[in-house]
Structure 1
Amino acid sequence: MNTDEVSIRTAGRAGRITLTRPKALNALTHVMVHAIDEALDQWQDGQMVGLVLIDAEGTKAFCAGGDIAALYHSGTAGDFDSGRRFWADEYALNARISNHPIPYVAIMDGIVMGGGVGLSGHGSHRIVTERSMVAMPECGIGLIPDVGGTWLLAKAPGHLGEFLGLTGWRMTGPDAILAGFADALVPGDRLDDLKATLENTGSVAAIDDYRETPDETPLEAQIEFAERHFSHPTALDCLRSVESDTSEFAQKITGLMRRACPLALACTFEMVRRVRTFEKLEDALALEYRFTWRSMTEAQFLEGIRAQIIEKDFKPSWTPDRLEDVTPDMVDRLLAPLGDDDLQL
């Protein structure tokens, strides 16, 4: 199923998926979700191809997230079901990627955020470059790290997950490997050769011939900071701990957290802690769906998109406007079961 937003084809022994919205940073639409899901379904028996290889046009972005502008316009028009259907189908795709029976190789070149992490981070072979920038910045728009983001954050070493989720920290390619979001670093100028080899052989063994050892992993220097400040019982305790640190870096982190949506911060923290006890991705996706299902009506998603993406005044009016005023009941309400509307995967 080809569209003008995604190219799907076979090339040699590879099932090929290329996102083709470079001017929109390859933001993921509902049409793209359906097309990719249909292709994975057709290829899963391994008879047509030996592996799946997903990439994107251009080098600026693999995928900068979901098409949140479209979600904003439908939500402000009172159509909440469109967003809910998109998230349900997107999360089902994330689960399919995680469970796909043949290798799924994701080329995470350029910006990889939100929905882009969902398309790549659950694959069996995740490749970054020196151009990669990987992040889960959803708290800045009143959302939580979804698309299985809480699962990846929960599995990160120590308390890096809380640090990354609550700050939206931008990871380099080597950082993403350290945090468990990626597997191998391949220089950008060798990607074309790697893709050709994968297409010709249908074997992921070729990746080892192209991977390099990272020279520098900036996130490694923040592990001790994350353990000292993000191992506390609540998001507010973490923020207070960071605020008590007089270092320039700590003050930068304080600013990031104070600008984010307080309710989203509290929910993200609680979700990462819960998901750390889960045994499968599907359970994390179901928990995330409880928040996103309510995000337009009971949370701050539409206000966050208005301020950061649509009007760009960068002055969201959060309610509550301080993490100190978020109560456990508020968090529990947003993460409570949805009954018949709970996500079934």
Structure 2
Amino acid sequence: MSYIRTSVSNGVGEIVLDRPKALNALDQSMIDDLYETLTAWGDDDAVETVLVTSSSDRAFCAGGDIRAIRDSALAGDTAAVTKYFASEYRVNQLIAEYPKPYVALVDGAAMGGGLGISVHGEIRVVTEKALIAMPETAIGFFPDVGATYFLPRLPAGVGMWLGLTGARVRGSDAVALGLATHYVPSEELATVADSIRSGAGLAEALADHRDPVEPSLPLRKIADYFGDVSVDAVVGGLRGAVGDDWAEEMLALLGSASPTSLFVTARLLEEGGSSSLAECLERELSTAEKITAHPDFAEGVRAVLVDKDRNPSFTPPTIAEVSPEAVAEII
């Protein structure tokens, strides 16, 4: 069976992500089906616009099928790990270069791989229910799917903040930061979707939903604390902010992450700032192959997604013990 449903009508090719029990987490079959469908529609004159939606009211796409990747890594099946990430990143590149308008409607969680099939598209519509995050450092991984390209291009410090902490961003803030292009109240999203499906045109369907949005985020603090590419400097600055509740919250998020993943992420984001998307994805693939063999990946996924005790034992356990040599071996 396929976990995506497709249809073409009025010049609109619609892809419905349909794996609700897994919050549309992308398994290998979904990635393969997405690539096949998008490739075919790119050359199909009957398709003028691609619309990507979800059958779940809880999530657009919660990310990749990380538990399956962990199983492959533990079994020593490096070929399966490489195939998964290479296939996923190929889809991300395809979306970024897509020859037709690509529209993602995000009404719920869009994390990790969910951003890979939305952020790279031309139009990203979010609602107040949208929950956007790159939470990979908590599972001993790093922000991938081209995140090492798009995160460094966000406002000052924001990319490092999102990448290191896994902090969550709501719909209107996603528009203000540039992660989304349009904000639509959830109760109006079905009307917008129907308007797009009717073939009326994107300009008409989205005409009333592109007003500037003021962020509710503490952008000055984010720039101050996360404007550095050094993990030690970021943590040191936050520790020095005595009495700042926000800084303490960020320290707690960093404290729950894999120390090794923090350094790997910071390095990748630094390099991604001056790289093309293709270069970032190539670097991410090499890094993914290596970091999934690191003990922190299996342990992080166990703690967050398998046993769900949220009590991982990372190796090494502190940022002070992470050596530059260990980071260089992964990147």
What TM-score results when the alignment is normalised by the length of structure 2?
Answer: 0.96
Question: Could you give the per-residue CA deviations for residues 90-133 of structure 1, whole angstroms, max 9, x where no partner exists?
Answer: 00000000000000000111000001000101000010001100
Matched, 1:296 2:292: yes
Matched, 1:271 2:268: yes
Partner of 2:29: 31
Deviation at 1:216, TM superposition (A): 5.7
Selected match of 1:153 from 138, 151, 154: 151
1: distance between equivalents of 2:17 and 2:228?
Answer: 40
Selected match of 2:85 from 65, 84, 87: 87
Selected match of 2:135 from 134, 137, 153: 137
Question: Could you give the per-residue CA deviations for residues 177-217 of structure 1, whole angstroms, max 9, x where no partner exists?
Answer: 12221110012122222222212226321243241547763
2: distance between equivalents of 1:241 and 1:94?
Answer: 35
> Tell me, what secondary structure is at the counterpart of 2:241?
coil
Distance 1:125 1:215, change over 3 A: closer
2: distance between equivalents of 1:75 and 1:272?
Answer: 25
1: distance between equivalents of 2:39 and 2:204?
Answer: 25
Moved more, 255-264 or 43-52: 43-52
> Tell me, what secondary structure is at the counterpart of 1:17?
strand
Tell me if the contact between 1:152 and 1:180 (Cα under 8 Å) persists in the aligned partners.
Answer: no
Selected match of 1:232 from 219, 222, 228: 228
Partner of 1:184: 182
Question: Could you give the per-residue CA deviations for residues 134-174 of structure 1, whole angstroms, max 9, x where no partner exists?
Answer: 00000000000000112121110111111111111100111
Deviation at 1:58, TM superposition (A): 2.1
Deviation at 1:83, TM superposition (A): 1.6
> Tell me, what secondary structure is at the counterpart of 2:198?
helix
RMSD: 1.5
Tell me if the contact between 1:154 and 1:276 (Cα under 8 Å) persists in the aligned partners.
Answer: yes
Tell me if the contact between 2:140 and 2:299 (Cα under 8 Å) persists in the aligned partners.
Answer: yes
1: distance between equivalents of 2:202 and 2:11?
Answer: 11
Deviation at 1:319, TM superposition (A): 1.2
Give the paired residue count.
Answer: 330
Matched, 1:329 2:322: no
1: distance between equivalents of 2:159 and 2:107?
Answer: 22
Amino acid at match of 1:232: D
Partner of 1:255: 252
Moved more, 317-326 or 129-138: 317-326
Deviation at 1:45, TM superposition (A): 2.6
Tell me if the contact between 2:299 and 2:312 (Cα under 8 Å) persists in the aligned partners.
Answer: yes
1: distance between equivalents of 2:62 and 2:212?
Answer: 23
Partner of 1:312: 308
2: distance between equivalents of 1:128 and 1:191?
Answer: 9
> Tell me, what secondary structure is at the counterpart of 2:293?
coil
Question: Could you give the per-residue CA deviations for residues 221-270 of structure 1, whole angstroms, max 9, x where no partner exists?
Answer: x2111221112241111111111112111111111101100111111111
Where do 5+ consecutive residues of structure 2 fail to align?
Answer: none
Matched, 1:44 2:42: yes
Question: Could you give the per-residue CA deviations for residues 31-57 of structure 1, whole angstroms, max 9, x where no partner exists?
Answer: 001111111111113501110000101
Distance 1:64 1:174, change over 3 A: same
Amino acid at match of 1:300: D
2: distance between equivalents of 1:283 and 1:207?
Answer: 35
Moved over 4 A (4+): none
Partner of 1:77: 75
2: distance between equivalents of 1:180 and 1:216?
Answer: 12
The correspondence of residues 188-227 of structure 1 with structure 2, limited to 5 A, is: 188-201=186-199, 203-211=201-209, 213=211, 217-219=215-217, 222-227=218-223
Tell me if the contact between 2:160 and 2:229 (Cα under 8 Å) persists in the aligned partners.
Answer: no
Partner of 1:341: none
Distance 1:57 1:261, change over 3 A: same
Selected match of 1:21 from 19, 22, 45: 19
Where do 5+ consecutive residues of structure 1 fail to align?
Answer: 336-345
Tell me if the contact between 2:229 and 2:267 (Cα under 8 Å) persists in the aligned partners.
Answer: no
Moved more, 299-308 or 146-155: 299-308
Distance 1:28 1:145, change over 3 A: same
> Tell me, what secondary structure is at the counterpart of 2:117?
helix
Tell me if the contact between 1:109 and 1:132 (Cα under 8 Å) persists in the aligned partners.
Answer: yes
Matched, 1:165 2:163: yes
Tell me if the contact between 2:152 and 2:272 (Cα under 8 Å) persists in the aligned partners.
Answer: yes
Selected match of 2:114 from 113, 116, 125: 116
1: distance between equivalents of 2:239 and 2:302?
Answer: 28
Distance 1:242 1:205, change over 3 A: same
